[in-house]
Amino acid sequence: MANNKKIIWIGIASALLIGGGIFWWVSSKKKADEEEKRKQEEETKKAEEEAKSHSASTSATKYPATPFTNNIDGNKFRAWINKTYPAYAKQNSISLSGDFNNSFIQKAYQQYGADYVKSATPVKTKGWSKNDKVYLASGVNEVGVYSVADKKYAIGNITKYLTLDRPIGYFIEDTGKGYFKVKITTYLPLNKIHSKSVSDLIVGAKDVYLPKYALSNSPY
């Protein structure tokens, strides 16, 4: 009987905890939605007031138009501003969505537009660009293939004997840890690393990590 009561109380306590968690999540989401709506309304109100001020005074500050042509692109910039410069976004009431070309976004783009464009531009890594073809470097006959940038996580290898001068994949990024992230096209799994047969190759695009010293963006 005592055990039954104990089970009942445990069930009641669990239900209360679960219910409380759900209530907290719903309340938090509602507050976040309300805060985003408040920011949008505040930004719209300020933009309208500033537009009126511009009309009333020829000396009012005007900013150049943004390069955006729709709200999708404008909202990407808004998200970037909120993530990269949260203090500026908060101080200027820049919400995550809204007009792509009002005075607030124009002002933000004038100040941070160059950084935004730079952040979206592919970065070269010592002669490497994203999607460059990757080859085994001259003098390298074999290289390990790893699931992460660490030699403890080998999943196979690639050999010159089977790849010859063909590209082994495509450059993704430099990890800065002595490895390149590469989308390889073929490799030998661990249980076949000594194979000399093409039929044992695993074929198919796969993101892996390869030691950068063993790689080249030229077959020669």
Decide if 127 is inside a domain.
no
Domain extent, residue 33, equals 1-121
Confidence of residue 48 (pLDDT cuts 50, 70, 90): low
Note whether 6 and 84 are same-domain residues.
yes
Query: Pick the residue with more confidence: 204 or 146?
Result: 146
Q: Are 154 and 144 in contact (CB under 8 A)?
A: yes
pLDDT of 163 reads 80
50-65 confidence digits (pLDDT tens): 555 544 444 445 788 8
Q: Are 212 and 174 in contact (CB under 8 A)?
A: yes
Query: Domain boundary residue among 67, 90, 121?
Result: 121
Query: Domain boundary residue among 121, 154, 186?
Result: 121
Note whether 34 and 101 are same-domain residues.
yes
Decide if 58 is inside a domain.
yes
- Output the domain CATH number for residue 149: 2.30.30
Across the chain, the runs of DSSP E, i.e. the strands, are: 133-136, 142-146, 154-159, 169-174, 179-189, 202-211, 215-216
Across 36-178, the runs of DSSP E, i.e. the strands, are: 133-136, 142-146, 154-159, 169-174
Q: Are 171 and 185 in contact (CB under 8 A)?
A: no
Residues 125 and 122: their CA atoms lie apart, in Å, by 10
Query: Pick the residue with more confidence: 128 or 48?
Result: 128
Note whether 9 and 98 are same-domain residues.
yes
Domain count for the chain: 2
9-26 confidence digits (pLDDT tens): 555 555 545 555 555 554
Note whether 41 and 104 are same-domain residues.
yes
Contacts of 89 (CB under 8 A, 6+ apart): 78, 81, 82
What's the sign of the alpha-carbon dihedral 125, 127, 131, 135?
negative
Query: Pick the residue with more confidence: 36 or 19?
Result: 36
Note whether 13 and 68 are same-domain residues.
yes
Decide if 73 is inside a domain.
yes
Note whether 155 and 100 are same-domain residues.
no
154-184 confidence digits (pLDDT tens): 999 998 888 877 899 999 999 888 999 999 9
Decide if 112 is inside a domain.
yes
Pick from 75, 106, 80, 108: nearest CA to 92? 108
Decide if 145 is inside a domain.
yes
Note whether 184 and 98 are same-domain residues.
no
Confidence of residue 200 (pLDDT cuts 50, 70, 90): confident
Decide if 114 is inside a domain.
yes
Residues 14 and 20: their CA atoms lie apart, in Å, by 10
pLDDT of 179 reads 93
pLDDT of 166 reads 86
What's the pTM? 0.44
Per-residue pLDDT averaged across 209-218, rounded?
A: 90
Query: Domain boundary residue among 71, 95, 121?
Result: 121
Note whether 107 and 153 are same-domain residues.
no
Among the ranges given (20-24, 117-121, 193-197), the one the predictor scored with the smallest mean pLDDT: 20-24
Residues 180 and 42: their CA atoms lie apart, in Å, by 46
Report phi then psi at 157, rounded to 5.
-155, 175
pLDDT of 126 reads 62
**123, pLDDT greater than 50:** no
Note whether 102 and 197 are same-domain residues.
no
Residues 37 and 44: their CA atoms lie apart, in Å, by 11
